[in-house]
Structure 1
Amino acid sequence: MKDSLAERLDPYNYTSGRWLRRDALERESRLIRFDFDALCRLVIELCPGANSIASYDKKEGGFNRVFIFHTDNAKCIVARLPFPLAGPSRLTTNSEVATIQYLQAKTSIPIPKILDWSDDASTAIGSEYIIMEHAPGIPLHQKWLTMDVGDRIRCIEAIYQKLKEIVDLEFPAYGSLYFANTPYITASNLALGQEFCIGPHCGAIYWDCNVGQPRYYHKSNPNQGPWPEFAAYCDGLIDTGISKIPPAGALPQRPRYQGSITTHYELLEYGRAVAKKMAKDPRIQNAATPIIFHPDLHKRNIFVSEADPTVITAIIDWQSTSIEPAFWHADEVPDFAQPISDPSCEDQIEPKSEACAKAFDICTQFLVPKLSVPRSMEEALFRPFRYCYRTWEDGAVAFREELIQTSRCWKELGLAESCPFPLPSPDEYAVHRKDYKLFEAAHQLRHSLSSLLNTASDGWVPLEDWEATETAHRETFRGMRQQILGNEDPDDDEPIRDEADLREIWPFDLE
């Protein structure tokens, strides 16, 4: 049974979907070479009374391959193996296990028990792994549509009663949690009791593990934390932005709003000066309290009782959990709290989702006020911090726009002294606006295409829809090209004027 399943379900390759952009690279980055038989043997060892694997399912997300094993004595065990792009090797696994055990020691949040783990890929398994009990109950997304509005509201309250325990924890620095005795974390870790410490941030944005986003340290040293104060955290964001800028001569083809290498360096140094001044503001410091929070809170990661979906039975997937400024976590709205349009009247919000959004706001305000404070503040106070590390992905024009808007409303925001970023001249601003319109058009195009083709924003398509979606993608490009070529007299401010403009900002591969 085991051999036939392994052959049919392919434990090693990514088989859940394909990408309209960089498809081969995306799939290669999710290949895991390991010993599946050794993993099966270990699962059996961890289940007293089991003699064999009766069946297993393979599930794949963006960062992990998950196997759900059913043994011959009716045990259900989950084994998760990280993809190389999940985060830095060893650190990502060590931090997740340490975070789970820290939360299990400090809170009553229900998290499945870890049976075994390894952050060393050189063991018999041949991969890092975490093996744990299966979460009791069922995923919330399986119950949500059939729940009445009262149960939904009670469920949201129950979730935040649990999360309150996390938000109330206090930390002396920003970074990620690890076990204190981890031998390879030697630089500047901060003790957190006897068993745990705060070490480097294991989020993928700080490391060279992202698909098609190599790091370069010829202009700045790696700066992954931990950071004992907010100003140092801001330097980490800026240094991360600098590390993404390639050396001269290594430039790939990019849209014109990308900006030159020199432009990126100049903007990021202005960004460093702006962040340094803003970080002194007492309001921002108050909203930057170091807190830990679930990194991907949505219905699929929350398990509830099948008999009573207002009872939370487990919260899973703590990978890349980190200690961040409160405003960083406050920006996210879970899928169960997002208002959706009423199908019967697009101008109105569907009543159940509107009630859930209000319940989320109330729970945030009264149960996790550390998150509520930044949510109630002017968003412009945080935007430079949220976008400074992304200049190479987004294009220089996007961060320049943030700096311009921050500089313009500096006094209105009540910030001290003057803004370190000088406003552009009228001629410079005219050029900037033209580039920014193309940037906006590119983002709108990506959003429209993802919606039209029913793909993720990065072009991911379920395998069963691949051929039809790829055909629709080509036809959509041909249709838009014909539309542009047919417009013989485009407006002066039209950002997409010819086929070259369209190809320049097209988000998916055309070859």
Structure 2
Amino acid sequence: MDQKNTYGLDPHSYTSGRWLRDDKHQRQLRQIDFNFDELCRRVTDVSHGIKHIKSCEKKEGGFNRVFIFTMDDSSRVVARLPFTSAGPAKLATASEVATIQYLQRNTSIPIPKILDWCDDTANIVGSEYIIMEYAAGISLHQKWPYMAGDQKVRCIAAIYKKLREMVDLNFSAYGSIYLSTTPLDSSSRLPLDGDFCLGPHCGTRYWARGDPRYYHHTAPNQGPWSTIGAYADGLVDAGLSRIPPKDSQLPNRSIYQGSVQEHLTLLECGRAVLNKMSADTRVHGAAVPVLFHPDLHKRNIFVSHDDPSVITGIIDWQSTSIEPAFWYADEVPDFATGSPSSASAEGTDNSELCTKAYEACTRFLTPKLALPRSMDEDGAVAFRDELIETAQDWEALGLHGSCPFALPTPGEMSLHRKEYIRFEAAQNLKRDLLSLLNTASDGWVPLDDWETAKAGNKATFKEYLEAVLTNGDPDDDEPIRDEKDLRDIWPYDLPE
């Protein structure tokens, strides 16, 4: 059966957009070769009383392909299949199912019911999958522009009253939740309760692209971790696992990203600093293990059509894990920001009101997250700068003893500042291009905008290059002086 003719979609290829950087590879990561006919059969089999599928809609995010099936009784069913970019797909699927079941057992958070799932690609569908009921209500993303300020405040309060139940759960370690029947090594599991356990963290940062050849400098360390010190070691080891061999060629790497040896040295310095900070009892309050939604934005929240202060569903629990509370300190959901979508249909911008409501709710309803919020990618130069600031503020932070990271000499500090100015120029350029070309942070653009964005990228580079070349008297600290410098920091692909 040609499913493109049946439902007007291509179930296997990524078709929602393109990337201005590494486009071919990005799309290959999101190719899923599976049996769509069998997936359809599983959907009808688990939808009791349903005879056939009327229509199917395909949606794609960064880590999943989603099929929304409308059945013959007008009910809807969702099937989600992970991309290889989601990390270890088997563990990610198993952990998401276990996390949802754990939350449904221990909280009243509304999460759609799982109808069927499999974490083994040897199944008849040919891919890991989760089949769920469609969330009740309407997406908050759709409802938000038409809500008055007081409705938004009540909605934010309702969201955090629900999430408080999850934040108040107590855990003794960090990692991801699995069913106790999940086949994990005994060294990779910790007890949680009779039906659940803690196991390896399934986040992409811990899985060196799933390729053992990247583990040159450290053994895999994906958890679970019983202490904050062990958790910190996991973060450092994750960084080490991404460093290529010393003799590797490193094409298209900016100078500020640093050499292999610089990364190795700085990560080991970072390990010493984190371990010493972890031993300080004053850090422990901000490091309490917390389970929280990893992508709490309006698209993943559903509310009642009639009363948006009634939360009817929260979706997309992939990669939900138990982290130190400080991990969530800088995560601000889109309903709490001053983004354009925060404005109501009547044109009144309620963003400041929503931000205040968000801050109040986190402070009083989820205090575990509020504590670290009240505390004061990018290569070797950025990491070195963080270590320098930590060493300079060591006493002010109230930490005992001396910082394990020694401050650079005046000559080294001068060189670091020059490199950091170049790093800042690269970050500012990327930020400007995000706005000018209307792309996501990784260069993604919708398919309909692909040709325009590609041409805009080329034209904008020419404009910037002309400005650089016509700058006859650059300042001494000017980081971009010629075409080579500009190409070095340009974040998107360019013709040679």
Distance, in Å, in 2 between the alignment partners of 1:262 and 1:420 is 19
What's the CA shift string for 1:32-55, capped at 9, x where partnerless?
Answer: 000000001111111222222110
What's 1:456 paired with?
A: 440
Runs (5+) with no aligned partner, structure 2: none
What's 1:470 paired with?
A: 454
Question: 1:6, CA displacement in angstroms?
Answer: 4.8
Question: 1:262, CA displacement in angstroms?
Answer: 1.3
Say whether residues 1:284 and 2:254 are aligned partners. Answer: no
The answer to whether the 8 Å contact 1:47/1:75 transfers is: no
What's the CA shift string for 1:282-339, capped at 9, x where partnerless?
Answer: 2211110001000000000000011111110000000000000001022211000013
Distance, in Å, in 2 between the alignment partners of 1:3 and 1:495 is 53
The answer to whether the 8 Å contact 1:215/1:244 transfers is: no
1:21-420 matches, cutoff 5 A: 21-209=21-209, 216-253=214-251, 254-340=253-339, 351-378=349-376, 393-420=377-404
Q: 1:440 to 1:53 in 2, by over 3 A?
A: same
What's 1:388 paired with?
A: none
What's 1:347 paired with?
A: none
Distance, in Å, in 2 between the alignment partners of 1:472 and 1:369 is 45
Q: Which moved more, 1:71-80 or 1:88-97?
A: 71-80
Distance, in Å, in 1 between the alignment partners of 2:2 and 2:86 is 28
Question: 1:457, CA displacement in angstroms?
Answer: 1.1
Distance, in Å, in 1 between the alignment partners of 2:321 and 2:272 is 25
What's 1:390 paired with?
A: none
Q: 1:26 to 1:442 in 2, by over 3 A?
A: same
Question: 1:404, CA displacement in angstroms?
Answer: 0.6
Q: RMSD value over aligned CA atoms?
A: 1.8
| Amino acid in the other structure paired with 1:461 | V
| Amino acid in the other structure paired with 2:359 | D
Question: 1:208, CA displacement in angstroms?
Answer: 2.9
Distance, in Å, in 1 between the alignment partners of 2:330 and 2:101 is 26
Q: Secondary structure at the match of 1:399?
A: helix
What's the CA shift string for 1:169-195, capped at 9, x where partnerless?
Answer: 000100000011112444231111110
Distance, in Å, in 2 between the alignment partners of 1:127 and 1:504 is 39
Question: 1:429, CA displacement in angstroms?
Answer: 0.7
Q: Secondary structure at the match of 1:50?
A: coil
Q: Secondary structure at the match of 1:209?
A: helix
Question: 1:7, CA displacement in angstroms?
Answer: 6.6
What's 1:387 paired with?
A: none
The answer to whether the 8 Å contact 1:200/1:226 transfers is: yes
Count of equivalent residues = 490
Say whether residues 1:500 and 2:476 are aligned partners. Answer: no
Identity of aligned residues (%): 60
Distance, in Å, in 1 between the alignment partners of 2:488 and 2:5 is 45
Distance, in Å, in 1 between the alignment partners of 2:338 and 2:4 is 45
TM-score normalised over the length of structure 1: 0.93
The answer to whether the 8 Å contact 2:335/2:342 transfers is: no
Q: Secondary structure at the match of 2:146?
A: coil
What's the CA shift string for 1:188-226, capped at 9, x where partnerless?
Answer: 31111110000000001000338xx98621221000000
Q: 1:492 to 1:217 in 2, by over 3 A?
A: same
Q: Which moved more, 1:68-77 or 1:107-116?
A: 68-77
| Amino acid in the other structure paired with 1:165 | E
What's the CA shift string for 1:377-415, capped at 9, x where partnerless?
Answer: 22xxxxxxxxxxxxxx51111110001111111111111
Distance, in Å, in 2 between the alignment partners of 1:88 and 1:305 is 35
Q: 1:461 to 1:40 in 2, by over 3 A?
A: same
Distance, in Å, in 2 between the alignment partners of 1:323 and 1:167 is 10
Distance, in Å, in 1 between the alignment partners of 2:99 and 2:207 is 20
Distance, in Å, in 1 between the alignment partners of 2:414 and 2:465 is 27
Q: Which moved more, 1:96-105 or 1:71-80?
A: 71-80
| Amino acid in the other structure paired with 2:429 | L
| Amino acid in the other structure paired with 1:223 | N
Distance, in Å, in 1 between the alignment partners of 2:6 and 2:331 is 38
The answer to whether the 8 Å contact 1:214/1:244 transfers is: no
What's 2:469 paired with?
A: 485
| Amino acid in the other structure paired with 1:18 | R
Question: 1:250, CA displacement in angstroms?
Answer: 1.5
| Amino acid in the other structure paired with 2:462 | R
What's 1:384 paired with?
A: none
Runs (5+) with no aligned partner, structure 1: 345-349, 379-392
